[in-house]
Amino acid sequence: MTEMVYGTLPLGGGEPILPRWWRTIDKWSLSCVLLLFGVGLLLGLASSPPLAARNGFEPFYYVQKQAIFGSSALLALWITTLMTPQLVRRLAILGFLLAFVGLALLPIFGTDFGKGAVRWYSLGFASVQPSEFLKPGFVVAAAWMMAAAQDLNGPPGRLWSFCLAVAIVAMLAMQPDFGQACLVLFSWGVMYFVAGAPIMLLLILAGGVALAGTVAYNSSEHFARRIDGFLSPDLDPTTQLGYAAGAIQEGGFFGVGVGEGQVKWSLPDAHTDFIIAVAAEEYGLILVLCIIALYTIIVVRSLFRLMRERDPFIRLAGTGLACSFGVQAMINMGVAVRLLPAKGMTLPFVSYGGSSLIAGGIAVGMLLAFTRSRPQGEIGDILLSRGR
């Protein structure tokens, strides 16, 4: 419907698929994704041997698995970038429905792998975390509802998307997985703001989130323990946050040297949640700043390309995906330096994890598909022509 209103033109059919893909893709963002994956393999070589030794595997067992997962993620990314926005929307909504059902059935068939939160399905040879695949699908589904609400006599898509977000947040909080719940709520809020929500309504919603956080603090021992540990003026050096903070301080500007870091022997999640601590200790602030720059380039370039987009669905979905991607990276690094409470969230394309890598590849593939150049004119040209 939005295509009829805003007149998105199809790409010419005469040009071969691959040359057209290369001409229209955001090459800077694609290059940054490849560099992040390379950094993830580099840090995996440093962080995973201690874990492999504890579990009785070969030293680079987890690096090999990350290479397999990462290759699958890059393949999924590339295939997704070849799709039209309409095909991305259809497949994303189908994937969202499957992930939503998977999330709802976790209390019955899921497992916690001894970590205290039921977030995974064990397949024997691997595990699947439905919430990782749910996030990009939810962004696309919510954007579709909000865009439909802008049509004449359109459905109440904003209300529908809000109810859907509340249902997902409630299921994630029951696991408990407050980090993913916050990320889902944040991505919905960003899209709602871009769709034209009044500031007062957003403030009311922020107050509701604060109230829900208070209730969670008083009713969830898991949540309260993490908040208390974050707010405590004294940092126990034997906790995960203590080890991570010590490693970052030890690394300084240039790092202690490749393979010389010690935090990987103390942190059980050095290859996943606290991979940035390994980077800071062995390679120093220089590598950390490079990693931050790569994420920043992807998010900023995507948002600038979306500002020229005429289709409201593409604009909303792309904005939600870009901001969710950037905020997840910011949360992971913020936890490591104790700017945020511990969340149990991976660093996109850098941390180890099959679900995280493959779902991240699909999400960024959607984003790159939405930001491909299309012969449609720019939104500014349309606004100027209407004002004459």
Average pLDDT over residues 284-291: 94
Residue of 33, 107, 105 whose CA lies nearest to 75: 33
Residue 346: φ, ψ to 5°: -80, 165
* Tokens describing residue 263: 């935090």
Q: Is 3 a domain residue?
A: no
Range of the domain at 179: 22-373
Tell me the average pLDDT across 220-224: 72
Q: Which of 128, 146, 149 is nearest to 187 (CA)?
A: 146
129 Cβ contact partners less than 8 Å away, ≥ 6 residues apart: 119, 120, 121, 353, 355, 356
Least confident of 240-249, 281-290, 314-323: 240-249
Q: Which residues contact 376 (CB under 8 A, 6 or more apart)?
A: 7, 8, 9, 310, 311
**Structure confidence at residue 241 (pLDDT):** 77
Contact 210, 202 (CB under 8 A): no
**Residue 219 CB partners (closer than 8 Å, separation 6+):** none
pLDDT of residue 92: 96
* Domain total of the chain: 1
pLDDT value, residue 376: 60
DSSP strands (E only) in the chain = 121-122, 127-128
174 Cβ contact partners less than 8 Å away, ≥ 6 residues apart = 107
Q: Establish if 388 belongs to a structural domain.
A: no
Q: Report the C-alpha gap between 204 and 212 in whole angstroms.
A: 12
In a domain, 386, yes or no: no
- Is the pLDDT reported for residue 291 higher than 90? yes
Greater confidence (65 vs 200) lies with 65
Q: What is the DSSP string of 315-374?
A: HHHHHHHHHHHHHHHHHHHHHHTTSS-------TTTS--HHHHHHHHHHHHHHHHHTS--
Q: Is residue 6 part of a domain?
A: no
Please provide the average confidence, as pLDDT, over all residues in the chain: 85
Cα 90 to Cα 7: distance, rounded to the nearest angstrom: 19
Is residue 368 situated within a structural domain?
yes
pLDDT category, 111, cuts 50, 70, 90?
A: confident
The dihedrals phi and psi of 279, each to the nearest 5 degrees, come to -60, -45
Residue 10 belongs to some domain of the structure: no
pLDDT tens track for 22-79: 999 999 999 999 999 999 999 988 888 888 888 888 888 888 999 999 999 999 999 9
Rounded to an integer, the average pLDDT of 245-261 is 83
Q: Which two tokens stand for residue 44?
A: 């995996």
Instruction: Among 40-44, 58-62, 204-208, 228-232, name the one with the lowest average pLDDT.
Output: 228-232
| Structure confidence by residue, pLDDT tens digits, 42-56 | 998 888 888 888 888
Residue 351 lies in a domain: yes
Look at 25-34, 216-225, 312-321 and tell me which has the smallest mean pLDDT: 216-225
Taking the CB of residue 376, how many other CB atoms lie within 10 A of it? 20
Task: Check whether the bond before 312 is cis (ω within 30° of 0).
Answer: no
* 385 assigned to some structural domain: no
Q: Is 177 helix (H, G, I), strand (E, B) or coil?
A: coil
Write the CA distances from 257 to 46, 241, 265, 320, integer angstroms: 11, 22, 16, 38
If one compares 60 and 126, the residue with the highest pLDDT of the two is 60
Sign of CA dihedral 325, 329, 332, 338: negative
What is the tens place of the pLDDT at every residue in 327-348?
999 999 988 888 887 777 889 9
Q: How many helices (H) and strands (E) does the chain have?
A: 16, 2
| pLDDT classification of 381: cutoffs 50, 70, 90 | low
Instruction: Give the C-alpha separation, 238 to 383, whole Å.
Output: 58
pLDDT tens-digit profile of 141-192?
Answer: 999 999 999 888 888 889 899 999 999 999 998 888 888 888 999 999 999 9
